[in-house]
Amino acid sequence: MPAYELDEIAGAVVRDLAAGEPSRQRGGRPERITEGHDRSDVRPLQQVVDSRRSVRVLGKDPLDLKDLMDVLREAESFHGRHWGRQGEPPQVLIASFDVPGLPGGLHQKVPGADQFESYGAPLWLPELLERYTKAPCLALVCVGHGPPVASYRSRVVGAGAFGYGLWLAARTFGLEASAYGRSYNEVSWEGQRQAPLRHQFCIAIGHPRAQSI
């Protein structure tokens, strides 16, 4: 995962999540499929930041679709407030393996809406669990590629900030997340069915692993 100054990125996410601001909704989007998150069980944000650590093994419990949507919504909201028109939000492909309510397979998150477009279940999808880690779902962050070069570089930086917001949002909601910087060519090829996309990195999302006594 690229390194970012805490005051510039994480600090902004902490302030936004603490304020409890709802994500921006764009007109003409499909109806929401989840309700707002009950923030009574949200962890103290400073505790989330102070307890940052590298995690490579997640728990085996399924990931609730509502929790996944809450995390994605918070990351999108952060990106919209702090990047605005400086760059389009990154495209996120969700590899679903154990998310009740979201069929197993590859799905593209519709920016600004609680809806997915299904890409089916490519034969190579299980390989992602070996390349990254075993998790209920993998968030595959992609950016559009093409001229001008300067604009593409800005989108890559914005995607990195989005990924950090995604990771921190997951931990804020009591989940666990793990970042992997390696891309996967098949993800880019699959994403280009709709638009020119290039896979950048992966955020594995799930529950904390049970601690042995």
pLDDT reported for residue 30: 33
Given this model, what pLDDT does residue 72 score?
92
Mean pLDDT by runs of 10 across the 213 residues of the chain is 46 52 36 44 53 71 95 85 65 94 92 85 94 94 74 82 89 90 87 77 91 46
DSSP string, 43-60: PPHHHHHHT--------S
Domain ranges of the chain: 60-206
CA angle 98, 50, 201 (to 5 degrees): 45
Q: What does residue 111 show for φ and ψ, rounded to 5 degrees? A: -55, 130
pLDDT of residue 28: 34
Query: 71 and 173 in contact (C-beta within 8 Å)?
Result: yes
pLDDT given at position 198 = 87
Residue 59, Cβ density class (10 Å: 0-12 exposed, 13-18 middle, ≥19 buried): middle
Residue 154 burial by CB count (10 A; 0-12/13-18/19+): exposed, middle or buried? middle
Give residue 114's pLDDT: 83
- Look at residue 67 in the predicted model and tell me its pLDDT: 95
Question: Distance between CA 103 and CA 65 in Å, rounded?
Answer: 10
Close Cβ partners of 31 (under 8 Å, ≥ 6 residues apart): none
Within 59-184, strands assigned E span: 91-96, 105-109, 116-118, 137-144, 176-180
Reported CATH class of domain 60-206: alpha beta
